[in-house]
Amino acid sequence: MLPNNMLYRIPALLIALTFHELAHGWVAYRLGDPTAKNHGRLTLNPLAHLDPLGTLAMLLVGFGWARPVPVNPFYLKGDRYRGMFLVGLAGPLTNFLLAFAFLYILAAFPSLLAVRHLPQILYTTFVINIYLGVFNLLPIPPLDGSRVLFYFLTPRARYAYSRWEQYGPLVLMLLIFLPFGFLQGILIPLANVVAGFITTLVSLLT
C-alpha cells in the first residue's frame, strides 16, 4: 500500500518521525520532566531523533520507529502512570493530526496537484503518518502502546507486564523481520480504518 518512490518517502519519514518524537518530549516537558529538553530532543532537527534501524525498517517494510525520547517518570507531575499515558499517546496522536493536515492540504488546494512531485509527497506523508501512528500504538514494549496499555492495567497486571517488558524488543524484531505476514495483517486493516476516518473527515470539511 505504501508508495515505493524514495523521493517521496524520505521527506515524509523525516516529518513523521521528527514530530512524533518532539510530541513525546514536549508533553513530558509540559508535565514537569526536563529530560528530553536536557538531551536536546525538543527540536525539529530530524538528526536528533532518527534511529538507524528504525528508519531502515520504515524504508524497507513501511513501518518503524525513531530514537526514543528519554523520559523520567519521577519528574512528572501528579499521577505518574497518567503522565506516561499522556506522553505515550502524544506521538501517535501527532501522527494522526499530521495525516489529517496533509490530506486536507491536498484536498483543499487542488492547484497544488499541478506542482511536480508535491501531491505525491503530501499523500505519502499522509500514509506514512497513519502507519507510524498505528504501529506505535501496538502494546509491545518499547512502543507507545505499551505505555498507553499500562495505564489501564491493575497493579497486579502491571507487575506481570513489567516482567515481560524486557522481551518486547525481541518480539518486535521477530514480528517485523520474519516473513510471517502476521504484523502486516494487523497493521493494514487498522491503518485502513484510520485512513478511512480521516478521509471522511476531510471530505466533510472541504
Q: Say if residue 26's pLDDT is above 80.
A: yes
Least confident of 49-63, 101-115, 139-153, 189-203: 49-63
Q: What is the mean pLDDT of residues 7-12?
A: 85
Q: What is the mean pLDDT of residues 156-179?
A: 84
Domain boundaries, the chain: 6-205
Is the separation of the CB atoms in 29 and 77 below 8 Å? no
Which has more pLDDT, 192 or 163?
192
Using a pLDDT cut of 90, give the percent of the chain over it: 63
User: Tell me: the pLDDT tens digits for 75-128?
Assistant: 999 999 999 999 999 999 999 999 999 999 999 999 988 888 899 999 999 999
Instruction: Please state, in angstroms and rounded to a whole number, the distance separating the CA atoms of residues 157 and 89.
Output: 20
Task: Give this prediction's pTM.
Answer: 0.89
Q: What is the mean pLDDT of residues 22-50?
A: 95
Write the DSSP string, 132-199.
HHHHHTSSSTTSHHHHHHHHHS-HHHHHHHHHHGGGHHHHHHHHHHSTT-HHHHHHHHHHHHHHHHHH
Annotated active-site positions, please? 21
Predicted confidence band of residue 197 (pLDDT cuts 50, 70, 90):
very high
